[in-house]
A and B are shown apart, each in its own frame.
Chain A
């Protein structure tokens, strides 16, 4: 049918009006500076400030660092679980999948509040430490708290990505390796891990991008001591009404996320790129 594409038209119009247009306007706005009432001039001042001011560079660095650590921790925690899920009986598997994935459908705010209760200076963990005679430990309002919170929030996505590839690993290959004399660590290291690399990368991209751009969790668990880009964008726009700066920082955040996606997808063969986005 020649006019079949028209079905996609309403959604595309909606997208152009409420997504593409605002983003393009935001991009343009970040290159302009107001010079008096209603007068605008082209200027790179915003980006000059962002890329020379140590405060903003520090925010960028912390955002990348916290997201990278969260990604690594999630991968480490998720891999054995996905490996275990692969060989469970179907009943057990359904149960564990439900336990692992159901937090994904619980509000991010609720899950962050849970960590607030646990990690706070007067929180459950510190009270327990004190009651057995230990020193309380600073678990919140620092990088540790943010990483714990982000890992809890995004771990499920990593497990899902790993499950998708690990389930497709052919048992016969593993049996072959084992028959040829490889012990289980060798099978794991030389066969299972290389074969599940695409899933690891998909999961890493997902967790990294979501960690880098998430707002509520770092704000509640990191406070002003461990501020990230998303929090700074909000403060600039809503508290200081510095829309030009906020727009510039948002563009920088997008660049951080996009460059990560680009770097990782370049490592995976061209055809796999789709896997990550769909």
Chain B
């Protein structure tokens, strides 16, 4: 696979790839540098580095509350998506039923329908019922958005699974639940876990849908950061960004270590 018989040589491809990597990563490096500026405006620190903007972060409790809310929400969403998504994938992959294709299509629809539309639709329906619980409507919206990822990763790991193993366990006296938990689950665990991590990340980062559903009682970190950045222009946003980058680096390292990023995303 890696030994290619036909190779395009020359400096062009390496130069191009390096340029694209530079384009993708350089902005993130710049943000990191800017967050250490001692000055009041967005600028690269020239002589001395300072932690001023990180300290000043402590005076803005909305970021702390937002981060806490984001983590709570993303955890709830990931658990829901894993539970419902794994069950749905079991139904879709293993059994034949009349509306199977329809179910499969619907399960991927939230990835195609624009997020602003889903967000607006949930806001309008909930409001017309008189439901104004911001935490709950965010939870519902994020769970919808993340379910497809879990269905996809679990379906992928179930497709390679030989169902006769479970039958064998049943023949040897295991109950259906026992056979599933002890035989099937360990083998699809990678897919389930990957789906859960994806759900967490997607929920943790989402703005397009959340912007319609947040409110004064329950706001989340990316939306707080977005609002802050749209009215002020100081390096604090960069400091928050750096903390978020660190957070996602931990997530990436975890995913890469456990499964390999490439395999998960294709």
| Cβ-based interface call for B28 (8 A) | yes
Chain A facing B: main interface SS:
helix
Contact check, A26 vs B124: say whether CB atoms are below 8 A apart: yes
Q: Which residues of A210-249 have CB atoms within 8 Å of chain B's CB atoms?
A: 212-216, 219-220, 230, 233-234, 237-238, 243, 246-247
Nearest chain-A residue to B123 (Cβ)? A237
Contact check, B23 vs A215: say whether CB atoms are below 8 A apart: no
A5-B28 contact given A23-B121, A105-B248, CB 8 Å threshold: no
A10 to B19, CA, bound (A): 47
Nearest chain-A residue to B84 (Cβ)? A11
* CB < 8 Å neighbour of B226 from A105, A124, A188, A220: A220
* CB < 8 Å neighbour of B8 from A83, A99, A172: A83
| Cβ-based interface call for B107 (8 A) | yes
Residues of B within 8 A of A108 (CB): 205, 207, 222
Residue from A106, A122, A152, A246 having most chain B Cβ neighbours under 10 A:
A106
| Cβ-based interface call for B21 (8 A) | yes
Residues of B within 8 A of A114 (CB): 27-28, 30-31, 241
Residues of B within 8 A of A78 (CB): 20
CB distance from A112 to the nearest CB of B (A): 8
Contact check, A253 vs B248: say whether CB atoms are below 8 A apart: no
Contact check, B4 vs A18: say whether CB atoms are below 8 A apart: no
Binds A, one of B53-61, B98-106, B185-193: B98-106
Contact check, B95 vs A113: say whether CB atoms are below 8 A apart: no
| Cβ-based interface call for A189 (8 A) | no
Residues of B within 8 A of A26 (CB): 117, 120-121, 124-125
| Cβ-based interface call for A101 (8 A) | yes
A251 to B97, CA, bound (A): 32
Residue from B85, B87, B112 having most chain A Cβ neighbours under 10 A:
B112
Q: Which residues of B195-224 have CB atoms within 8 Å of chain A's CB atoms?
A: 201, 204-205, 207-208, 211-212, 222
Residues of A within 8 A of B123 (CB): 237
A205 to B31, CA, bound (A): 30
Nearest chain-A residue to B222 (Cβ)? A109
Residues of A within 8 A of B27 (CB): 111, 114-115, 117-118, 152
Nearest chain-A residue to B242 (Cβ)? A110
CB distance from A202 to the nearest CB of B (A): 11
The 8 A CB mask of B237-257 against A (1 = contact, 0 = none) is: 110010011001101100110
| Cβ-based interface call for B169 (8 A) | no
CB distance from A255 to the nearest CB of B (A): 10
A250-B114 contact given A113-B225, A120-B42, CB 8 Å threshold: yes
Nearest chain-A residue to B209 (Cβ)? A215
Residues of A within 8 A of B20 (CB): 77-78, 80-81, 100, 155
Nearest chain-A residue to B229 (Cβ)? A113
| Cβ-based interface call for B258 (8 A) | no
| Cβ-based interface call for A96 (8 A) | yes
CB distance from B136 to the nearest CB of A (A): 10
Q: Which residues of A1-51 have CB atoms within 8 Å of chain B's CB atoms?
A: 1, 4-12, 14-15, 17-23, 25-26, 29
Nearest chain-A residue to B147 (Cβ)? A11
Contact check, A29 vs B124: say whether CB atoms are below 8 A apart: yes
A213 to B237, CA, bound (A): 24
| Cβ-based interface call for A62 (8 A) | no
Q: Which residues of A198-216 have CB atoms within 8 Å of chain B's CB atoms?
A: 209, 212-216
Contact check, A113 vs B241: say whether CB atoms are below 8 A apart: yes
Contact check, A14 vs B143: say whether CB atoms are below 8 A apart: yes
In the A-B complex, the 7 residue pairs with the closest CB atoms: A4-B95, A213-B114, A8-B91, A7-B91, A114-B27, A22-B121, A11-B88
11 contacts between A and B (CB under 8 A): A4-B95, A5-B100, A7-B87, A96-B17, A115-B27, A117-B27, A152-B24, A220-B230, A238-B211, A247-B120, A261-B112
Known: A81-B17, A84-B17. 6 other contacts (CB 8 A): A4-B91, A11-B107, A105-B255, A160-B266, A216-B211, A253-B114
Interface residues of A (CB under 8 A from B): 1, 4-12, 14-15, 17-23, 25-26, 29, 77-78, 80-81, 83-90, 93-94, 96-111, 113-118, 120, 122-124, 127, 152, 155-156, 160, 163-164, 171-172, 174-175, 178, 184, 187-188, 209, 212-216, 219-220, 230, 233-234, 237-238, 243, 246-247, 250-251, 253-254, 257-258, 261, 277-278
Interface residues of B (CB under 8 A from A): 2, 4-8, 12-14, 16-17, 20-21, 23-25, 27-28, 30-31, 34, 41-44, 83-85, 87-88, 90-92, 94-95, 97, 99-100, 103, 105-110, 112-118, 120-126, 128, 140-141, 143-144, 147, 151-152, 201, 204-205, 207-208, 211-212, 222, 225-226, 229-230, 233, 237-238, 241, 244-245, 248-249, 251-252, 255-256, 261-262, 265-266
